[in-house]
Amino acid sequence: MAETRTISVQQHIMSANDLLAGDIRARLDAAGAFAINIMASPGGGKTSTILRTVQALKSEMRIAAVDGDIVPVDVDRIAAEGIPVELVNTGGSCHLDANMLLGVIDKVDLEHTDLLIIENVGNLVCPANFALGAHANVVIASVPEGADKPYKYPGMFRGADVLLLNKIDYMPLSDFDVEYFRRGVMAVNPDVTFLPVSCRTGEGLEGWYDWLRAHVRK
């Protein structure tokens, strides 16, 4: 009987992705551009956070954006703020990967970009598994989603450098348990920067802006 061998295809895919992500990081570093990878579930507030951030900081730093989606709805909203933005058509994929990003990175003028914002696909599972070469992973959770998300999707929260708890203005209308949520986050990622915010009212966003100011080289 012939010998049966098991080949880990997933490991090969991840290794190839990591190599491409390293190339992207090298290009960002050479240009002096700081990149953030924004991840959240659909409706968590990725685009709203980006719009607020651009409005607050575009007079202080040169910002560009890349959006992973199948239609340019969010691209058009971001472009209306007067910054360059590129669409990565994901074809319905549940995440961005380094190869997809590499396909548009040449269209971004990195030499004249201080902050590159990457809006990943709305999903709390797949995007966490694919490095993009960004300098920081930013995860957005929201109050209406419930406080159990760190327990259900630990991989996403484990890889976050910054965690924005969005829509805190909904707190009076919900039974969201902040301490339960925070315990779940700290169990997998005790060093994460945790910032409660509201993109609707602006509450807490100054702390987010200050974090970016401290990390972006101008």
Asked if residue 180 lies in contact with residue 149, where contact means CB atoms within 8 angstroms, the answer is no
What pLDDT sits at residue 7? 47
pLDDT at residue number 11 = 60
Nearest Cα to Cα of residue 167 among 44, 84, 41: 44
Beginning with the edge strand found earlier in the chain, give each strand of the sheet holding 63-69 in spatial order: 85-89, 63-69, 115-119, 34-40, 136-142, 162-166, 193-196
* Digit-coded pLDDT (tens) for 75-126: 999 999 999 999 999 988 999 999 999 989 999 999 999 999 999 999 999 9
* H or E element in which residue 39 lies: strand 34-40
DSSP code of residue 19: H
Task: Identify the band that residue 5 occupies on the pLDDT scale cut at 50, 70 and 90.
Answer: low
67, β-bridge pairs: 87, 119
Question: Which tokens hold the place of 217?
Answer: 């080289």
pLDDT digits (tens, 9 = 90+) for 44-74: 999 999 999 999 999 999 999 999 999 999 9
Q: What integer pLDDT is reported at residue 61 of this predicted model?
A: 98
The Cα–Cα gap between 22 and 189 comes to 23
Higher-confidence residue of 10 and 184: namely: 184
Per domain, the residue ranges of the chain are 9-215
Predicted model pTM:
0.92
Give the mean pLDDT of the chain: 94
Packing angle between helix 98-105 and helix 9-31, nearest 10 degrees?
A: 30
Q: Indicate the DSSP class of residue 144.
A: G
The CA-atom distances, in angstroms, between 47 and each of 129, 187, 213 are: 21, 28, 20
Instruction: Work out the percent of the chain whose per-residue pLDDT is above 70.
Output: 94
Mapping DSSP to helix (H, G, I), strand (E, B) and coil, where does residue 113 land?
Answer: coil
How far, CA to CA in Å, does 34 sit from each of 16, 43, 100, 106?
23, 25, 19, 16
CA distance 39 to 60: 24
CATH fold of 9-215 reads: Rossmann fold (3.40.50)
Angstrom distance (rounded) from CA 65 to CA 100: 14
Alpha-carbon distance of 49 to 52, in angstroms, equals 5
Tell me the Cα Rg of the chain. 18
pLDDT score at 2: 57
